[in-house]
Structure 1
Amino acid sequence: MLLKKYVGIGAVVAGLAVAFGAFGAHSLKETLSEHDLEVFETGVRYQMYHGLGILLVALLSERLPSALKLTRWSARLLLIGTVLFSGSLYLLALSGIDWLGAITPLGGVAFLAGWACLTAAAIKGGRGEA
């Protein structure tokens, strides 16, 4: 179940990163300041990294069956981090509402927790293997 569900989610997240990147490069270049465009592009970059990360977690979940809860939490946290981190950067760049920047670090914490869960899954799932 984790494999199928999160392969789909990871693919959608990564695909949307491509779409948002194209939107930023072609439609926002003339309307956003250089700084706001950089903020938007940072959101796109991290969305792509973590979309691919979700795909990786889903694929590794089959190889780490004893750590399924950890891989599930890893995928969830990477998705939550993407929504909070990239989403807040998109909104900040497009709206100019500065307080949205306070949400971004929460996404970063979710990213770190997601990668920590994957690390723990690898340790737990790798026990006893040569």
Structure 2
Amino acid sequence: MGAGQQGDDRDDGPAEQTFRTELLGRGIDVVAAPASYRYDFGDGSRDLVTTSPGHEWPDHDTYHLYDMVGTVQVTLTTTWKGKYRVDGTTVWRDVVGTAATSTTSAPFVVEERRSRLVDDLCTDIPTPDDC
């Protein structure tokens, strides 16, 4: 374990995917691993490209701050690299090239909330609307 990881059972590595297939009558094991992640945050900003699958707070390293309110969708494109092994051999060979998969979130609304000091509860006099 690295420094600061004592007692942390979280797997920080990318999630490999293992597949079994057949080609020309021969069994083949295929392992695909994420090589990079591209986030399009749906607001016209520069995409975030990273090799990290992201971590939860307080160690988060994959995040975005929206500058404007509005309805957006986030698209994540994962680029995969792979290796394969044909039955009867112990040698793993790299797959030439990469593959990409994409998924897009449901639309969601980016809102701005502001705090105000008031002398009454907003539930007593709910004006203005954002009180």
Higher helix share: 1
For Structure 1 versus Structure 2, the TM-score category normalised by the shorter chain is under 0.3
Higher strand share: 2
Rg larger for: 2
Normalising by structure 1, we get a TM-score of: 0.23
Which structure would you say has the larger RCO, counting Cα contacts within 8 Å and 6 or more residues apart?
1
